[in-house]
Amino acid sequence: MANHATSYSDKFVYHEPGLQHQFEDMKQQEESVSIGMWMFLVQEIMFFGGLFTVYLVFRFRFPMAFSMGSNHLNVIMGFTNTLVLIVSSLTMALTVYFAQRNKRNWQIGMIVLTMLFGLTFLYIKYLEYHEKYVDGLVPVAGWNRKVKLPGTELSAPLPFETGAVAASEQGGEEEKPYNNPRGEFQWREGSKLVSDALAEEKANPNKKVLTEYERAGYLDPTTGLVDEYRFQEKIRSFFWIYFALTGLHALHMIIGLGLMTWLLWQAFKGTFNSEYYSPVEMSGLYWHFVDIVWIFLFPLLYLLGRHLLAGG
């Protein structure tokens, strides 16, 4: 019974209102929460890292297919999205700042702003994806815009356009009508970089413009000329990588918006104060992490093929 009395009185020892009973003090609690969140972020880095590895291998193997695909992405939208995410990171940091200072209304305002910027990002992403859908660049057969021009058969194989476009590129830009009765992936930009490289190699036989992998990957082994089908498959791989990376990132944005919604409700109820704001800070860590992924995705996907067009 004596023991009972001791533990009874223990319950009235002062502790901070936000302190969970299993922790010694707020410092220990804070650190445990952060290290848990950081462990989660580390595995997220490895999660995205797998896809970045795919990107790395592809880019080392097929730099020309990479730069043609990369140049085809909408760089203005990518650039705008980068800025939108950076602003949302600022408002997220300020959310934590105001939560630590018991400023409930400012905190709510900042969460709402963060959510608005997050939604803007997703809307621009949607516009970008829609553009790819319209152009027939979604790498899954049947997921593209279906247009059946009169005089073409639905069951016939997709008329192969890249060769024709590449041929017409010599004579100038000629827009071919979009014809894609079964919504397949198609690449209408030709393979000009590769044929230029071949011409350059022909001019100086000592110069190797194409790598061994590219030679095997783009060229017809019998004729030694560009095989449009093979080249198209490499472009298709690029768009797989593009959609996988940006799609996974967009999924993280959607999850982040879910977190923000919950945070908004909690902040509205006045849950957070200078003593207890871990959920705000942890959601912030997640949001900033998603921002960091985009900081890498934007130059790697949208920009790194571009200097080849700038001509140097």
Kindly list the residues in this chain that would bind other proteins in the complex (CB under 8 A): 14, 16, 25-27, 30-31, 34-35, 38-39, 41-42, 45-46, 49-50, 52-53, 56-57, 60-62, 75, 79, 82-83, 86-87, 89-90, 92-94, 96-97, 100, 212-213, 216-217, 230, 274, 281, 284-285, 288-289, 291-292, 295-296, 298-300, 303-304, 306-308, 310-312
Q: HSE on the CB side for 285, CA within 13 Å?
A: 17
Q: Which amino acid is at 111?
A: I
In the bound complex, what is the minimum distance in angstroms from residue 106's beta carbon to other proteins?
11
In the bound complex, what is the minimum distance in angstroms from residue 129's beta carbon to other proteins?
21
Q: Which amino acid is at 83?
A: L
DSSP 275: S
Pick 161 or 291: Cβ nearer other proteins: 291
Pick 165 or 226: Cβ nearer other proteins: 226
Q: Please list, in sequence order, all residues whose beta carbon lies within 8 angstroms of the beta carbon of residue 288, skipping any fewer than 6 positions away.
A: 89, 92, 93
In the bound complex, what is the minimum distance in angstroms from residue 296's beta carbon to other proteins?
5
Q: HSE on the CB side for 71, CA within 13 Å?
A: 17
Pick 38 or 160: Cβ nearer other proteins: 38
Helix (DSSP H) and strand (DSSP E) numbers for the chain:
11, 0
How many whole angstroms separate alpha carbon 25 and alpha carbon 257?
Answer: 31
Pick 16 or 174: Cβ nearer other proteins: 16
In the bound complex, what is the minimum distance in angstroms from residue 297's beta carbon to other proteins?
9
Distances (CA, A) of 103 to 2, 41, 127, 243, 272: 46, 28, 36, 40, 9
In the bound complex, what is the minimum distance in angstroms from residue 34's beta carbon to other proteins?
6
In the bound complex, what is the minimum distance in angstroms from residue 137's beta carbon to other proteins?
21
In the bound complex, what is the minimum distance in angstroms from residue 14's beta carbon to other proteins?
6
Tokens 């198209």 found at: 232
Pick 27 or 202: Cβ nearer other proteins: 27
The residue among 126, 121, 132, 128 whose CA lies nearest residue 81 is 121
Contact present, 225 and 166 (Cβ < 8 Å): no
Pick 135 or 281: Cβ nearer other proteins: 281
How many whole angstroms separate alpha carbon 193 and alpha carbon 238?
Answer: 16
Pick 164 or 285: Cβ nearer other proteins: 285
Pick 90 or 164: Cβ nearer other proteins: 90
Q: What is the DSSP string of 12-36?
A: TS---TT--TTSSSHHHHHHHHHHH
Looking at the chain, how many residues does it have? Answer: 312
In the bound complex, what is the minimum distance in angstroms from residue 256's beta carbon to other proteins?
14
